[in-house]
Each structure stands twice: as C-alpha cells, then as structure tokens.
Amino acid sequence: MSLSAYLEARRTEIDAALAAWLPAPPETPAVVADAMRYSVTAGGKRLRPVLCLASAEAVGGDRASAMPAACAIEFIHTYSLIHDDLPAMDNDTMRRGRPTLHVVAGEGMAILAGDGLLTEAFALLSRHAGTGRAADAARTLRVIQVIAVAAGSAGMVGGQALDLACVTSDPSGRPALALDADGLRVMHGRKTGALIRAAAVAGAIMGGATDATIAAIDAAAAELGLAFQIVDDLLDVEGASHDLGKTAGKDAAAGKPTYPALYGVTQSRAMADACLARAETSLVRAGLTDSRLLDIGRWIVAREN
C-alpha cells in the first residue's frame, strides 16, 4: 500500500471513530454538542491519531486497542486550536478553510466547546479501558498519565502560555518574554512536540511495547515533532493562505519568533531533514524498520500544507 493510500485508510477509520464518539443529544445539550462537532469534523491532517495507530502497529499491537487514545488526542488537539484561535489568544477567524468556532458560535460557546472536548478525551479513555483485564487497566492509566502531562501546563498549555507571553507587551511596550533559539525550541517542544510525542507513546503502550521500545519511539517522535514545527514555520512564510486554510505570514507579522526568522529558510530546511535522520536512527536501533513511522516522518517534512 502506498503511503497516501495508508494515510487515507487510517483517516477514514479515525473520522468514523471520532464521529461515533463525539458527545450528542440527549446526554449532551445540542448547543454545545453542535459546536464540538463543528470543529472536530472540520477535517485536518489527523497527524496525531495516525501516528498513534501507526505506533501501535509498529510494535505488533492491535490498532483497535489504540483507537480511543488516538481519538482522545485528536479531541485535545482540536480543543487547543479552538482556544488558540480566540480573540484573547491568536485572534484567528479562519481555520482549515472555514470560519473559526468563535466566529460562528460566539466566544463563550467556543470556550465551552473546547472545555468539553478536553474533558471528553478523558471520559473516552476511561470508558474504553479494554477488556477489563488488569493489564488493560494499568496500560490505560499509564496512557491517561502520558496524555494529561503532555497536554497540561507542563506541556502544551505551558507552551501556549510561553507563546502568549512572547506577544504580550509589558507596560513599556516590550514583549513580556523574549525567546532566543533555545527558548524557541523549548517553547515548541511543549506547545507542539509534547502532544505528538504522547500520541506515538500512547500507541506504543496500548500496543504492548517494552519500555525500551517505548523510549525509542518517544525519542523518534520528539524529532518528528520538531521537524513538524520547523516545516509549519516554513509553510507560514512560503505558503499562500489558500493552501494552508489560514492566514499566511501571520506569525511573522505578529512578531512571533520563527525558525526561518532565526535561521533563514535554507538552514531551517536542513534542520528539518536532520530531525528526520535522527528519528530514523532511533527507530532503526530499536529494530522498528518495518513500520510506517518513518514514512509518516518523511511526509511531515515533505508536506505542502
């Protein structure tokens, strides 16, 4: 199967599971269920859930056992986009080619829909704790821990807070926080990298991997997460709004530090390629040569949107 056929097949499975597991009336009031569904079904690359399923398969596990974790992570990713797009944060009005949720449902409902998706991620994880065997319960608890730490204030929320502090002026008009190259890497490691790593690690845990294999997948995913962010910055500089489905050049205009701004386009490209090479080394050392994980890494670096 070609990579594009593989990705298409996985996305179809993931989209079906997301649609089935989204809260709906009568348990959930329609006014907030509709808002949650609007954002989750807006499409997107489904990179994190695909990586989660591929990781479970790579370690010889059952794809179905990783599906709740894959969907929980996509719920969390979607909530983070909804909250990031709010006027008090990035103030984006377009996302994936459609008006952002706060534009169509109001700011209050957008905040609540994000809160609902984040909470539903943990409801979903704890509801599908496998067959009831003790090993399944232990794996599920470990996955909840990995995802909560990655998504929380030590991970994604913390990275977003650093990002926000970079574009918030103190009384003298300077940014409240100025990031150098190291600070930029740490910020993105939290904001984008942590959840990508958690996706791969959660798949490996649910797939029954050993701790050594989980660590190798974690290291590879950290490289892929950084490559993803560098390519994102490059696309923001190079891309047209049409292809990205969002406003191009917005980060640079907002004075946010980016990889091309710090290193230039050519060196940024080389850095992304180096990340991919290090991810490959990590996977090969763990004997994970016959998996889709590296293909997904190549796609992350070569993608055009």
Which stretches of the chain bind its own copies, using CB under 8 A? 23, 27-29, 31-33, 35-36, 79, 83, 86, 88-89, 106-109, 111-116, 118-120, 122-123, 125-127, 129, 134, 137-138, 140-142, 144-145, 148-149, 151-154, 157-158, 160-162, 164-165, 168, 176-177, 190
CA dihedral over 252, 237, 79, 159, signed as positive or negative: negative
Contact predicate 152/158, CB 8 Å: yes
What is the nearest approach in angstroms of its own copies to the Cβ of residue 134? 4
| Cβ distance to its own copies smaller for residue 88 or 240 | 88
Could you tell me how far CA 74 lies from the centroid of its own chain?
Answer: 7
What is the nearest approach in angstroms of its own copies to the Cβ of residue 268? 25
Contact predicate 55/293, CB 8 Å: yes
d(CA 89, CA 98): 18
| Cβ distance to its own copies smaller for residue 152 or 249 | 152
| Cβ distance to its own copies smaller for residue 149 or 248 | 149
- Structural tokens at position 82: 């909804």
| Cβ distance to its own copies smaller for residue 29 or 264 | 29
What is the nearest approach in angstroms of its own copies to the Cβ of residue 207? 19
What is the nearest approach in angstroms of its own copies to the Cβ of residue 17? 18
Q: Which whole-number Å values give the CA distances from 201 to 14, 124, 133, 235, 282, in the listed order?
A: 18, 18, 21, 27, 14
What is the nearest approach in angstroms of its own copies to the Cβ of residue 143? 9
| Cβ distance to its own copies smaller for residue 99 or 239 | 99
- Structural tokens at position 97: 């080619």
- Structural tokens at position 151: 């998504």
d(CA 164, CA 106): 22
